[in-house]
Amino acid sequence: MHFGSTEWLHSDARRTAIGLDLDVEALDWCMENNVNKVGADVSSRIFLFHGNVLQPLEAKLVNVATQYLMQNEILGDSEDDSPDYKLMKDFQFPARDIVCAFNYSCCCLHTRQELVSYFKHALSALNKKGGIFVMDLYGGTSAEHELRMQRKFPNFTYVWEQAEFDIIKRKTRISLHFNLHKPQRKIRHAFSYSWRLWSLPEIKDCLEEAGFQSVHFWIRHMPDSEDIRSTYGLAAGRDIKYEEVTSFQQQDSWNAYIVGVA
């Protein structure tokens, strides 16, 4: 998580990045393994919040980037009796250029109402002169039934598991397992998500309803799940490019980036 943020910060000293997650463990991991390793110049410009994307203003700051906040007058005046933690609403962040939600996070939201509400919050954070919201989504016939896929890496094997797929609710459970090689150890259900697999037109309708000016799809097909049921690393199909499309024929497996323009 937030590798993208640190890249963004490295490439221009004026940039800031804000991360928001419901899972405090994920944020802690990010600080431990990512933020604390990038040097003070970068880590002082990243702000990690613990909270719900459906009530982002109530989210609590969990890392300490206060020196940058003070210098740049991002933190509003705090009252003496204010609690010793800061909420998103206490900040005056500049309008954002990019809001992104990757690794299919939107599938954690289960109702249309939640999805539209989330997209409205994302839009309200964006710069209206060219800001974009970017998210990813996968699909295809293989996405809508039970499936288990393995990817082998030098030090571990990673397993993506889809439980039964309910076609009325479009719900499934996604579990990620890891088999470490040295020392040999299995981490079953390292991550497990109750999942609603949205379709591309549903996402487009909800982005438009939330107020985005236009919505664009960048899609590529993925290697057939039959072929990659057990594959080595990320090499399979790596040379297939994403293309912007307005029509795309169904296949075994595809991956999409969806861009909403503010």
Ligand X SMILES: C[S@@+](CC[C@H](N)C(=O)[O-])C[C@H]1O[C@@H](n2cnc3c(N)ncnc32)[C@H](O)[C@@H]1O
Query: Which of 23, 227 has the CB closer to ligand X?
Result: 23
Rounded Cα–Cα distance for residues 169 and 174 (Å): 15
The piece of 98-106, 150-158, 181-189, 212-220 that touches ligand X (CB under 6 A) is 98-106
Query: Which of 54, 125 has the CB closer to ligand X?
Result: 54
Query: Which residues 6+ apart lie within 8 Å of 245 measured at CB?
Result: 217, 218, 219
Rounded Cα–Cα distance for residues 107 and 208 (Å): 18
Does 102 engage in binding with ligand X (CB under 6 A)? yes
- Total residues in contact with ligand X, by rule CB under 6 A: 15
Most distant pair of Cα atoms in the chain: their distance: 62
The piece of 21-29, 206-214, 229-237, 252-260 that touches ligand X (CB under 6 A) is 21-29
Residue type, 246: T
Does 192 engage in binding with ligand X (CB under 6 A)? no
Query: Which of 135, 262 has the CB closer to ligand X?
Result: 135
Q: Which of 256, 190, 251 is nearest to 217 (CA)?
A: 256
Query: Which of 47, 104 has the CB closer to ligand X?
Result: 104
In whole angstroms, the minimum distance from the beta carbon of 138 to ligand X comes to: 11
Rounded (5°) CA angle 130-55-83: 110
Residues that bind ligand X (CB under 6 A): 1, 20-23, 26, 52-54, 102-105, 108, 193
